[in-house]
């Protein structure tokens, strides 16, 4: 699976995250980015949140006032099927390498974009770890940092390793 990083996003905490041309990925996330609730988000296992641009586009088409970065993702990627994301997959993102650690369970923070948005991108089956859920991966995936480095808009996002 190969996609493209359309946007790199950071914020001083919370949503939305705003685009930057590039950012350095450290073991704890993108330099300049912060989490509004560090007891829940962030840390080495949730250093980065990746979300597919196609999901953002589908939500916008349904009338939700979302845009790249609105849902709190650090990387907005295009050209990938989020239903194929799996824990343990490693991706090259610019100079960095990341490993997917878990699905993101959307919280009430994104309800600012409309009632029901959480249910559009996450369901009970996904919560229970069932990859056959039609909503698997739609809410994004968290990743740990395997190798630090610069990430830029336009960089490829390439699957390197997949574990069964």
What would the mean pLDDT of 55-81 be, rounded to a whole number? 98
Q: How confident is the model at residue 107 (pLDDT cuts 50, 70, 90)?
A: confident
**Residue 139 contacts residue 59 (beta carbons within 8 Å):** no
Summarize pLDDT for 14-35 with one digit per residue, the tens: 899 999 999 999 999 999 999 8
pLDDT at 61: 98
Domain 2-148 has CATH 2.40.33.20: yes
Q: What's the pLDDT score for residue 14? A: 86
Count of C-beta atoms within a 10 Å radius of residue 86: 16
Q: Where are the domains of the chain?
A: 2-148
* Coil vs helix vs strand at 160: strand
pTM of the model: 0.96
Q: Are 83 and 129 in contact (CB under 8 A)?
A: no
């Amino acid at each position: 699976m190969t996609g493209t990083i359309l946007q790199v996003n950071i914020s001083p905490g919370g949503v939305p995250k705003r685009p930057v041309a590039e950012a350095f990925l450290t073991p704890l996330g993108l330099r300049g980015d912060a989490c509004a609730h560090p007891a829940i988000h962030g840390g080495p296992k949730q250093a980065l949140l990746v979300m597919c641009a196609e999901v953002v586009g589908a939500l916008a088409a349904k009338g939700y006032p979302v845009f790249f970065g609105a849902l709190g993702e650090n990387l907005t990627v295009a050209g990938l099927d989020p239903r194929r994301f799996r824990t343990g997959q490693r991706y090259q993102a610019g100079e960095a390498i990341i490993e997917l650690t878990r699905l993101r369970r959307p919280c009430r923070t994104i309800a600012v974009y409309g009632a029901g948005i959480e249910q559009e991108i996450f369901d009970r089956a996904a919560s229970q770890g069932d990859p056959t859920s039609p909503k698997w991966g739609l809410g994004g995936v968290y990743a740990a940092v395997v190798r630090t480095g610069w990430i830029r808009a336009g960089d490829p996002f390439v699957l390197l390793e997949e574990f069964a």
